[in-house]
């Protein structure tokens, strides 16, 4: 167990050095000593970044659920694995011990089998944050089916695209979902998606809101009918370490979403190891990550990372504002949460409410706070530290991506000091590097450059589902022999990294990755619209918000009407998270002579920084710039 627990600076230094100088030995020991394998590997790491080929623990056999559930069901059967806190605090919560979790997952796995799901099949999961979501994910892993969880805030069209891309054969959903005061009819969204899907699906339906739903004979099945007839044990399918475990879609700067593929062995080892150390999880701690399992944070740090460590992990169905803004603090006190992991956007929204909502909440149980998803500004960091952490909890600002599977840069409580607005140091085995545009390494202290990683870590995504070339082009072509993150970063003289934001056309809104191209494609389908350009601008709560510059085919009298239609179109094609905060109708977009939209200029205008627009005289249509500035939307 020696290298598994990193609890002193010396252990970090020694392990980091070993992981860089002798990575094969380091990971061989770590993986052998802390996990259950059915067969050992023939080679620890095999990689060629030029071809974007990476494999870890080659030829090894395992099942991740044996590691996440069975071994704890055997050793600590009565320990709480999952705590389900419902949307409405007046509804009873549900706790599942490790032995109960094993049964639930096995039952769900047997239901999937009874619906003909086999190893390698894709299963799409479109569910609210209810326990069955966890059971479904783990049941897929149990039988070797590849889960593709789609966040239940995505629209029917976005869902259909994801179903068709991975050609799933089954979709697991519920009648409805609760979010604060709202009830969303998920089944109706699924029905609409299936109407436009090319792929045939069966539907496994879970009752949550007891809404009336439309049922299609021989296609839709209620879980409660099927689960009554199945056994509560199910042998775990023996998987190859490099077999896909799941696909998770993330927005790209162009085209359709990318189905990032994560595999069983490396993903398990890395998410488990990072969870244990970055959150300094101890035996009886209660851990809470407020993300949704529809995002990578939920996959890695609500389910797989915590469960592989035998942790007690909370699943919260609701929102921070319901019934009021004290909900997070109430939950922390109710379960005596020790580690609390949330997003800067939530912190900013809560900070705006003032400190009245802390009344009667002690938050004394907290030991470690975490943030993820976007840069955290100094003010939000200080507020989090003072009012939530009471100035005595380290804050881990964890930088990572859907593609990286686990946290790559973060401080570690008691080991690597935190520093406001800095993610700080690379985790063990991670070799970040800053490059200039020509690909030269920026070695000097206080450099700003493009953040790349020069050596594989176990949970790096292996490919984009069905499109390896796109994987090569997106991540391995910008710089020779490097994984390019798409982020910019600053490195101070102590070697701490601060992430400065995306350097491509992805915008992070409330911690969600949004590509500008898919939003523009959605808008451009409107019959009155010629073209559009979406850029980000700073937003007090969301970090960034979206500003759309739109040109119309003809002058319209009712501009407000078209603005409403644009956002409806976006909601329909992508989901409400991609709606525009500001829309400006303009007679043209600034373009280069080759016809490329000059987003740099639009970004500055949207941020109200028009003093230094650079040389605009070479544009095809320089006059339009002044018109856009004059009509800037406050």
Give the interface size with ligand PRX as a residue count (CB under 6 A): 21
* Comparison of 408 and 598: residue with beta carbon closer to ligand PRX: 408
What distance lies between CA 82 and its chain's CA centroid? Answer: 20
Are β-strands 447-453 and 432-435 bridged in parallel, bridged antiparallel, or unpaired?
antiparallel
Q: Are 127 and 206 in contact (CB under 8 A)?
A: yes
367 part of the interface to ligand PRX, by CB under 6 A: no
Q: Are 107 and 156 in contact (CB under 8 A)?
A: no
Judged by CB under 6 A, the chain residues 498 through 527 that form the site for ligand PRX are 499, 502, 508, 513
CB of 224 to ligand PRX, least distance (A): 34
DSSP 525-547: TSTTEEEEEEEEEEETTTEEEEE
Helices 264-278, 23-34: crossing angle, 10 deg rounding = 80
Judged by CB under 6 A, the chain residues 240 through 259 that form the site for ligand PRX are 250
- Could you say which of 56, 267, 384, 400 contacts ligand PRX (CB under 6 A)? 400
CB of 489 to ligand PRX, least distance (A): 9
CB of 574 to ligand PRX, least distance (A): 14
* Comparison of 400 and 549: residue with beta carbon closer to ligand PRX: 400
Q: For 279-411, where are the alpha helices, taking DSSP H only?
A: 296-298, 305-308, 327-335, 344-351, 378-383
Give me the 402-431 binding string for ligand PRX, x by CB under 6 A, dash otherwise. x--------------------x--------
Which region among 132-140, 212-220, 265-273, 371-379 touches ligand PRX (by CB under 6 A)?
Answer: 371-379
397 part of the interface to ligand PRX, by CB under 6 A: yes
* Comparison of 373 and 413: residue with beta carbon closer to ligand PRX: 373
Q: For 56-210, where are the alpha helices, taking DSSP H only?
A: 64-65, 71-75, 98-114, 131-143, 156-166, 186-196
Give me the 79-108 binding string for ligand PRX, x by CB under 6 A, dash otherwise. ------------------------------
* Comparison of 121 and 397: residue with beta carbon closer to ligand PRX: 397
Which region among 92-100, 354-362, 392-400, 591-599 touches ligand PRX (by CB under 6 A)?
Answer: 392-400
C-alpha–C-alpha distance, residues 493 and 447, integer Å? 9
- Side by side, the strands of the sheet bearing 463-464 are 220-222, 202-206, 170-174, 122-126, 146-149, 244-250, 258-263, 463-464
C-alpha–C-alpha distance, residues 235 and 121, integer Å? 18
C-alpha–C-alpha distance, residues 534 and 549, integer Å? 6
Count of other CB atoms within 10 angstroms of residue 46: 15
Could you give the C-alpha distances from 584 to 520, 546, 558, 580, 602, in angstroms and in order? 14, 11, 13, 10, 11
What distance lies between CA 250 and its chain's CA centroid? Answer: 8
List the one residue out of 284, 588, 554, 260 whose CA is nearest residue 405. 260
CB of 253 to ligand PRX, least distance (A): 12
CB of 345 to ligand PRX, least distance (A): 11
* Comparison of 328 and 497: residue with beta carbon closer to ligand PRX: 497
* Comparison of 107 and 258: residue with beta carbon closer to ligand PRX: 258
Which region among 73-81, 83-91, 479-487, 608-616 touches ligand PRX (by CB under 6 A)?
Answer: 479-487
CB of 137 to ligand PRX, least distance (A): 17
Determine if the peptide bond prior to 294 is cis (ω within 30°). Answer: no
- Could you say which of 275, 325, 399, 483 contacts ligand PRX (CB under 6 A)? 399
- Could you say which of 153, 244, 370, 373 contacts ligand PRX (CB under 6 A)? 373
Give me the 283-322 binding string for ligand PRX, x by CB under 6 A, dash otherwise. -------------xx-------------------------
Please give the angle made by the CA atoms of 299, 186 and 575, to the nearest 5 degrees: 70
Binding footprint of ligand PRX on the chain (CB under 6 A): 250, 296-297, 372-375, 397-402, 423, 485-487, 499, 502, 508, 513
């Amino acid at each position: 167990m020696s290298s598994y627990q990193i609890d002193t600076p010396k252990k970090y230094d020694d392990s980091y050095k070993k992981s860089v100088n002798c990575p094969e030995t380091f990971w061989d020991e770590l993986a052998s000593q802390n996990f259950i394998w059915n067969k050992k590997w023939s080679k620890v790491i095999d990689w060629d970044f030029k071809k974007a080929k990476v494999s870890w623990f080659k030829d090894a056999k395992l099942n991740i659920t044996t590691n996440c559930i069975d071994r704890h069901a055997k050793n600590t059967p009565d320990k709480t694995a999952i705590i389900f806190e419902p949307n409405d605090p007046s509804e009873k919560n549900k706790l599942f011990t490790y032995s109960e979790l094993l049964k639930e997952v096995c039952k769900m796995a047997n239901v999937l089998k009874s619906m003909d799901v086999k190893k390698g099949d894709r299963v799409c999961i479109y569910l609210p944050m209810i326990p069955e979501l966890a059971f479904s994910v783990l049941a897929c892993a149990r039988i070797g089916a590849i889960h593709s969880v789609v966040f239940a805030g995505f629209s029917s069209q976005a869902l259909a695209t994801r179903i068709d891309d991975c050609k799933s054969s089954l979709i697991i959903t519920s009648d409805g979902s609760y979010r604060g005061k709202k009830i969303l009819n998920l089944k109706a969204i699924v029905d609409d998606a299936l109407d436009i899907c090319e792929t045939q699906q069966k539907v496994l339906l879970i009752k949550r809101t007891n809404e009336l739903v439309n049922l299609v004979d021989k296609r839709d099945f209620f879980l409660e009918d099927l689960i009554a007839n199945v056994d509560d044990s199910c042998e775990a399918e023996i998987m190859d370490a490099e077999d896909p475990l799941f696909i998770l879609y993330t927005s790209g700067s162009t085209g359709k979403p990318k189905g990032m593929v994560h595999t069983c062995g490396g993903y398990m080892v890395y998410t488990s190891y990072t969870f244990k150390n970055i959150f300094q999880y101890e035996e009886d701690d209660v851990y809470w990550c407020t993300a949704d399992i529809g995002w990578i944070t939920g996959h890695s740090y609500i389910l797989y990372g915590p469960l592989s460590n035998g942790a007690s992990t909370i699943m919260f169905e609701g929102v921070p504002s319901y019934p009021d803004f004290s909900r997070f603090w109430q939950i922390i006190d109710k379960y005596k949460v020790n580690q609390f992991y949330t997003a800067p956007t939530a912190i900013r929204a809560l900070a705006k409410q003032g400190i009245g909502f802390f009344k009667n909440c002690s938050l004394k149980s907290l030991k470690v706070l975490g943030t993820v998803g976007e840069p955290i500004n100094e003010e939000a960091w200080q507020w989090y530290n003072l009012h939530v952490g009471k100035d005595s909890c380290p804050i881990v600002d964890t930088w990572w991506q859907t593609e990286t599977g686990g946290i790559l840069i973060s401080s570690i409580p008691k080991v690597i000091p935190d520093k406001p607005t800095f993610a700080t140091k690379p985790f063990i085995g991670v070799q970040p590097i800053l490059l200039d545009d020509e690909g030269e390494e920026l070695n000097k202290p206080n450099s700003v450059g493009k953040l790349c990683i020069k050596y594989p870590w176990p949970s790096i995504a292996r490919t984009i589902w069905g499109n390896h070339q796109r994987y090569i082009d997106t991540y391995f072509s910008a710089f020779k022999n490097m994984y390019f993150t798409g982020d910019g970063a600053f490195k101070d003289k102590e070697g701490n990294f601060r992430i400065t934001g995306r350097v491509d056309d992805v915008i992070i809104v409330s911690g969600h990755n949004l590509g500008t191209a898919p939003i523009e494609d959605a808008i451009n389908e409107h019959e009155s619209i010629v073209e559009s350009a979406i850029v980000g601008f700073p937003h007090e709560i969301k970090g960034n918000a979206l500003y759309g510059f739109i040109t119309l085919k003809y002058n319209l009298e009712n501009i407000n009407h078209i603005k409403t239609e644009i956002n409806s179109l976006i909601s329909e094609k992508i989901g409400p998270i991609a709606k525009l905060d500001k829309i400006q109708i303009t007679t043209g977009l600034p373009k280069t002579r080759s016809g490329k939209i000059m987003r740099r200029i639009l970004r500055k205008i949207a941020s109200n920084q028009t003093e230094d627009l650079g040389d605009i005289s070479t544009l095809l249509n320089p006059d339009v710039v002044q018109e856009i500035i004059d009509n800037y939307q406050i």
